[in-house]
């Protein structure tokens, strides 16, 4: 086993409640375990829920939750394992602090439209009650949810099926050199990873301008030629 394979890391899935974090984290943990990795699943809606005991939805409570999950995740990574964490973690700075401490850290933003989140409410009607004020202190409604600024990956679960999301996560692990092409194949049923084409362009940094802006620019050039 080479150094790359023997070094642990943290996969941190953040996103609003019902965005799909638990489903993805569970599948990730199962696939990685089947591939021979030592994995610890830390899901705030699963067995790791005890780490939230005594904490509320306030900012202090959420910051402490990230610290508790992060402490466990770092211990797993230091021992050579993979910590797969599914946590609301609505505030940006605690996540960034954990990134600095863990170093080998993969942040996945599990995004979803509020309309789709409400569709997933079911009988619980969590978001519908929050929208009408029947319940309060809901991240993304009357409490803030701060999306990551530079996550390794953004998943739109209202558009992408679970299998496609998993493949994109494994691709991100290859791009970050957390796993190799051979392991990617085992995790995806024989697929080959795509070649990394570089970092995606951010707004204002090489991103393609809108069509209207292109047309305006072309019109300006044409005007200069006539003069």
- Asked if residue 139 is part of any domain, the answer here is yes
Number of domains the chain is built from: 1
- 144 part of a folded domain: yes
Angle subtended by helix axes 59-78 and 92-102, to nearest 10 = 20
Provide the pLDDT confidence category of residue 196 given band limits of 50, 70 and 90: confident
The verdict on residue 66 lying in a domain is yes
pLDDT mean over 190-207? 59
* Residue with tokens 């696939």, as numbered in its chain: 31
pLDDT in tens, 13-32: 999 999 999 999 999 999 99
Answer yes or no: are the C-beta atoms of 81 and 39 closer than 8 Å: yes
pLDDT at 204: 32
User: Does residue 198 carry a pLDDT above 50?
Assistant: no
In a domain? residue 206: no
Give the separation between CA 84 and CA 72, rounded to whole angstroms.
Answer: 11
Output the CA–CA distances (angstroms, integers) from residue 199 to 98, 174, 180, 195, 209, in the order listed.
23, 14, 19, 12, 17
What is the domain range of residue 110? Answer: 3-194
Q: State how far the Cα of 193 lies from the Cα of 170, in Å rounded to an integer.
A: 8
The mean pLDDT value for 211-222 works out to 40
Check residue 2 and give its pLDDT: 39
CATH of the domain at 104: 3.40.50.300
Task: Give domain status of residue 203, yes or no.
Answer: no
**For residue 200, is it within any domain?**
no
Which residue in the list 6, 58, 79, 89 is annotated as catalytic?
A: 89
pLDDT in tens, 73-124: 999 999 999 999 999 999 999 999 999 999 999 999 999 999 999 999 888 8
Position 118 in a domain: yes
197 catalytic? Reply is no
Within a domain: 208: no
């Amino acid at each position: 086993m080479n150094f790359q394979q023997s070094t642990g890391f943290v996969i941190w899935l953040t996103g609003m409640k019902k965005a799909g974090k638990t489903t993805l984290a569970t599948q990730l943990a199962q696939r990685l375990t089947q591939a021979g990795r030592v994995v610890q699943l830390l899901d705030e809606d699963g067995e790791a829920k005890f780490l939230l005991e005594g904490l509320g939805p306030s900012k202090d409570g959420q910051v402490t939750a990230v610290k508790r999950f992060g402490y466990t995740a770092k211990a797993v990574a230091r021992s050579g394992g993979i910590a797969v964490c599914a946590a609301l973690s609505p505030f940006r700075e605690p996540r960034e602090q954990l990134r600095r401490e863990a170093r080998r850290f993969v942040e996945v933003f599990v995004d979803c439209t509020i309309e789709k989140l409400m569709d997933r409410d079911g009988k619980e009607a969590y978001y519908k009650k929050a929208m009408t004020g029947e319940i309060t202190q809901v991240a993304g409604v009357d409490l803030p949810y701060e999306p990551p600024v530079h996550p390794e990956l953004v998943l739109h679960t209202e558009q992408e099926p679970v299998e496609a999301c998993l493949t994109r996560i494994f691709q991100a692990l290859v791009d970050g050199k957390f796993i190799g092409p051979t392991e990617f194949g085992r995790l995806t049923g024989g697929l080959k990873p795509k070649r990394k084409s570089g970092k995606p362009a951010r707004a204002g940094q090489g991103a393609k301008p809108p069509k209207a802006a292109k047309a305006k620019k072309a019109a300006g050039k044409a005007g200069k030629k006539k003069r």
